[in-house]
């Protein structure tokens, strides 16, 4: 959580830092701040609220925008409430050093008490102010340069961090470091300028050359010089690898849509096609996935597959459980990464762990991977962000290729995760002959149609909007599904909760009778997935039970359905496909529905309250 955007070079730093913060706001948005150095003064502006609030302040303080060095921060509060004082950047007591920080220093209280005994006074409640003063204390005590002081200070902290530190007595350099939270360094032409950010989006229009620091690495960035990278704990020198960015500016802009979420919903046909690319060879009736092929023995001889993930990615994992067990007959367990990592699970070297994550930075998923590896399991990653921590920590894996997802509510990440996981299930099912050639080929041919079907499905937008208008004032909603579509019911409910703040629960349709049915009255909208295969008659019975209690039914059905249409209050049709592939379609109406309800309720769709896009704290 939290976004860092910094610049050192020959351009005005302010617009680069502020625009960078706007692109990183998905990481946290409860307060924002920046410091610009003009060669004489450190000009600080910070405020509770969003980057747009910060801009309002700096607009009034025009003079504060000049200077070629700047560091900014957009915050998701961990220590200390979101207010002006707790916002970053934070200064050291002398006023010479300034820091922006993403992460948590767990032993900050002990360090703070120690520093207080040495005469330090703290203004804020943050762990970050403690860290910058610790760096200052080390620098004074050791009589060393900033880089060494940062390194020594970091050896005595426990926790996670990505930091950028500036010392006004050495104004041609910035020091950055990471442990557990990402940091990228954009290297400008002839090393005349450098960009530092939590991901590469703030500098994509300036340079395509980026260095991603690894955990426990720090870098000294000096104008005109090669970036010096070393390991924090053993002081060894690292030769930094400069990667070429694939990201483009259009990918991270709204492209005419009112919100990123809507843009990302509409990008799904392309995103799924991109996920297929090079893997789904429909003409040859083949799936090519080298990460599976190279490890086929491990997969086919595994005792079981354990899937670890959080939130929407966990829902994708649940779809995968149904898919892999159905298609490949390999036992699968799906675990919340946050529970798995702390519950002393039984893991052996005969287990395969699949970790799913859009951001590739989710702290609990990362910790679950490390635990599984330490017990000898083979770990496979399904990630969207290329080069992310999870992508690097897993033994192998597959990228989803959804492109940058900026709306906090996951949409295209979910469908592309399901796409990859379906390909894996099919590939394994073919390899161990759980699927006959005929069934496998039928799946391939149906799968190939999915992007076009999603495209067609998106035409229902106006219809879904009219349904959203009817139910936007509901205070509670139920989402029901069975089989492959039970996880879609969970995901539908999560989407509604997180962006419209309407309470919603997802349930397997048959579970309704074991409790939730008590909630049903004439005010309760119930969204039911009733596609025409798998358990159709059973779901129809569930719908009858709801109608008997006056609940309002909004049913997602297969096109041409007449039976449910006769009973439901509203129907939304999806194109026909195999039951196992329906999650790729049934999920779309629920995304649109949540989006329209949130817009009608005037909620901040892309940045819902209290949330952040990547949860890099546990
Ligand atoms: O980046 P990850 O996929 O690891 O993130 C996991 C969850 O935080 C994420 O899916 C979250 O639930 C979404 N905001 C839901 O829309």
Number of neighbouring beta carbons within 10 Å of residue 195? 27
**Global pTM value:** 0.82
Check if 410 has its Cβ closer than 6 Å to any atom of ligand 1: yes
Q: List the CATH code of the domain at 254-459.
A: 3.40.50.10490
Dist. CA 144–CA 288, nearest whole Å? 55
Q: Closest residue (by CA) to atom 11 of ligand 1?
A: 311
Dist. CA 230–CA 547, nearest whole Å? 66
Calculate the CA 180 to chain-centre distance: 15
Dist. CA 477–CA 461, nearest whole Å? 20
Q: Closest residue (by CA) to atom 10 of ligand 1?
A: 312
Check if 491 has its Cβ closer than 6 Å to any atom of ligand 1: no
Per-residue model confidence (pLDDT) at position 84? 84
Domain boundaries, the chain: 3-248, 254-459, 460-607
Q: Of 148, 144, 138, which Cα lies nearest the Cα of 218?
A: 148
Distances (CA, A) of 547 to 109, 516, 569: 57, 14, 9
Check if 362 has its Cβ closer than 6 Å to any atom of ligand 1: yes
- 12 Cα to the center of ligand 1, angstroms: 35
Q: Closest residue (by CA) to atom 9 of ligand 1?
A: 311
CB 376 within 8 A of CB 347: yes
- 8 Cα to the center of ligand 1, angstroms: 33
- 360 Cα to the center of ligand 1, angstroms: 10
The answer on pLDDT for 36 being more than 80 is: yes
Which helix (H) or strand (E) is 362 found in, with range? none
Pick from 29, 76, 310, 317 the residue to mutate for probing ligand 1's pocket: most ligand atoms within 8 Å of its CB: 310
**Residues whose CB is less than 8 angstroms from the CB of residue 617 and which lie 6 or more positions away in sequence, other chains included:** 1, 78, 103, 104, 160, 363
Report CA torsion sign: 74, 168, 204, 615. Answer: negative
- Output DSSP code: residue 460: G
- 291's torsion region: left (phi>0), alpha (psi -120 to 50) or beta? alpha
> For 533-588, how does the pLDDT look when each residue is reduced to its tens digit (9 = 90+)?
778 888 898 899 888 888 999 999 999 999 999 999 999 999 999 999 999 999 99
Per-residue model confidence (pLDDT) at position 538? 87
The three state secondary structure string of 219-230 is EEEECCCCCEEE
> What's the CATH superfamily of 460-607?
Glucose-6-phosphate isomerase like protein; domain 1 (3.40.50.10490)
Query: Is-catalytic flag, 2?
Result: yes
The answer on pLDDT for 618 being more than 80 is: no
Q: List the CATH code of the domain at 3-248.
A: 3.60.20.10
Q: Closest residue (by CA) to atom 8 of ligand 1?
A: 311
- 615 Cα to the center of ligand 1, angstroms: 8
Dist. CA 579–CA 271, nearest whole Å? 21
Q: Of 492, 484, 478, 473, which Cα lies nearest the Cα of 536?
A: 484
Residue 250's pLDDT band (cuts 50, 70, 90): confident
Number of neighbouring beta carbons within 10 Å of residue 437? 10
Q: Closest residue (by CA) to atom 14 of ligand 1?
A: 409
- 491 Cα to the center of ligand 1, angstroms: 11
For residue 410, which atom of ligand 1 is closest to its CA? 16
The torsion angle over the Cα atoms of residues 158, 311, 372 and 352, rounded to 10 degrees, is: -160
Report CA torsion sign: 360, 366, 368, 372. Answer: positive
- Which is catalytic among the residues 2, 310, 383, 477? 2
CB 9 within 8 A of CB 193: yes
Average pLDDT over residues 579-603: 97
Lowest mean pLDDT among 246-255, 481-490, 493-502: 246-255
The answer on pLDDT for 264 being more than 80 is: yes
- Output DSSP code: residue 528: E
Average pLDDT over residues 505-517: 89
Check if 416 has its Cβ closer than 6 Å to any atom of ligand 1: no
Pick from 181, 315, 358 the residue to mutate for probing ligand 1's pocket: most ligand atoms within 8 Å of its CB: 358
Distances (CA, A) of 161 to 102, 103, 181, 476, 494: 5, 4, 5, 39, 29
The answer on pLDDT for 137 being more than 80 is: yes
Per-residue model confidence (pLDDT) at position 340? 94
For residue 315, which atom of ligand 1 is closest to its CA? 10
Check if 310 has its Cβ closer than 6 Å to any atom of ligand 1: yes
Per-residue model confidence (pLDDT) at position 197? 96
Domains 3-248 and 254-459 in one fold = no
Check if 389 has its Cβ closer than 6 Å to any atom of ligand 1: no
Check if 444 has its Cβ closer than 6 Å to any atom of ligand 1: no
* Bridge partners, 103 (sequence order): 161
Query: Is-catalytic flag, 383?
Result: no
Dist. CA 99–CA 149, nearest whole Å? 13
How many helices and strands in the chain, by DSSP H and E?
Answer: 20, 27
- 241 Cα to the center of ligand 1, angstroms: 29
């Amino acid at each position: 959580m939290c976004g860092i955007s910094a610049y050192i070079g020959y351009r005005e730093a302010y617009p680069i830092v502020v625009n960078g913060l706007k692109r990183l706001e998905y990481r946290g948005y409860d307060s924002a701040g920046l410091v610009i150095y003009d060669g004489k003064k450190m000009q600080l502006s910070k405020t509770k609220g969003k980057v747009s609030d910060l801009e309002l302040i700096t607009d009034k303080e025009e003079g504060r925008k000049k200077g070629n060095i700047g560091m900014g921060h957009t915050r998701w509060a961990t220590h200390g409430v979101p207010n002006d004082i707790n916002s970053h950047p934070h200064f050291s007591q002398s006023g010479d050093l300034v820091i922006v920080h993403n992460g948590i220093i767990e032993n900050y209280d002990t360090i703070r008490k120690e520093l207080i005994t040495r005469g330090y006074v703290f203004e804020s409640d943050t762990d970050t102010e403690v860290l910058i003063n610790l760096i200052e204390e080390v620098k004074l005590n050791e009589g060393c340069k900033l880089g060494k002081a940062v390194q020594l200070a970091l050896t005595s902290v426990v926790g996670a961090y990505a930091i950028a530190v500036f010392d006004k007595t050495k104004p041609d350099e910035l020091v950055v470091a990471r442990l557990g939270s990402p940091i990228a360094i954009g290297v400008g032409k002839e090393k005349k300028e450098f960009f530092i950010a939590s991901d590469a989006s703030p500098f994509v229009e300036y340079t395509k050359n980026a260095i991603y620091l690894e955990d426990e690495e720090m870098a000294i960035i000096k104008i005109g010089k090669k970036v010096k990278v070393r390991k924090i704990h053993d002081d060894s020198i690292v030769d930094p690898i400069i990667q070429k960015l694939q990201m483009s500016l259009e990918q991270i802009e709204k492209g005419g849509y009112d919100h990123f979420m809507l843009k990302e919903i509409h990008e799904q046909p392309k995103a799924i096609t991109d996920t297929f690319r090079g893997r789904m060879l429909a003409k040859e009736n083949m799936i090519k996935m080298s990460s599976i092929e190279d490890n086929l023995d491990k997969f086919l001889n595994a005792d079981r597959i354990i899937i670890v993930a959080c939130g929407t990615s966990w829902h994708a994992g649940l779809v995968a459980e149904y898919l892999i067990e159905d298609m490949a007959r390999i036992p699968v367990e799906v675990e919340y990464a946050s529970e798995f990592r702390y519950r002393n699970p039984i893991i052996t070297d005969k287990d395969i762990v699949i970790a799913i994550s859009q951001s590739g930075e989710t702290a609990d998923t990362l910790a679950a991977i490390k635990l599984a590896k330490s017990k000898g399991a083979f770990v496979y990653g399904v990630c969207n962000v290329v080069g992310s921590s999870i992508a690097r920590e897993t033994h192998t894996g597959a990228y989803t290729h959804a492109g940058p997802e900026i709306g906090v509510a996951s949409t295209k990440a979910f469908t592309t995760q399901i796409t990859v996981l379906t390909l894996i299930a099919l590939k394994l099912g073919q390899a161990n002959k759980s699927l006959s050639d005929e069934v496998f080929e039928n799946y391939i041919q149906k799968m190939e149609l999915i992007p076009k079907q999603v495209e067609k499905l998106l035409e229902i937008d106006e219809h879904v909007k009219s349904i959203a208008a009817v139910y936007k004032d509901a205070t509670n909603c139920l989402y029901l599904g069975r089989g492959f579509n039970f996880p879609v019911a969970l995901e539908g409910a999560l989407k509604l909760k997180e962006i419209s703040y309407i309470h919603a629960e997802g349930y397997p349709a048959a579970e309704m009778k074991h409790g939730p049915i008590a909630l049903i009255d004439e005010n309760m909208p119930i969204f039911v997935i009733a596609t025409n295969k798998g358990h159709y008659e059973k779901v129809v019975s569930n719908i009858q039970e709801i109608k008997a209690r006056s609940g309002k039914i909004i049913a997602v059905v297969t096109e041409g359905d007449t039976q449910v249409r006769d009973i439901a209050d509203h129907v939304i049709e999806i194109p026909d496909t195999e039951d196992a592939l329906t999650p790729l379609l049934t999920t779309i109406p629920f995304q649109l529905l949540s989006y329209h309800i949130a817009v009608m309720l005037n909620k901040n769709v892309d940045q819902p309250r209290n949330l952040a896009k990547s949860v890099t704290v546990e």
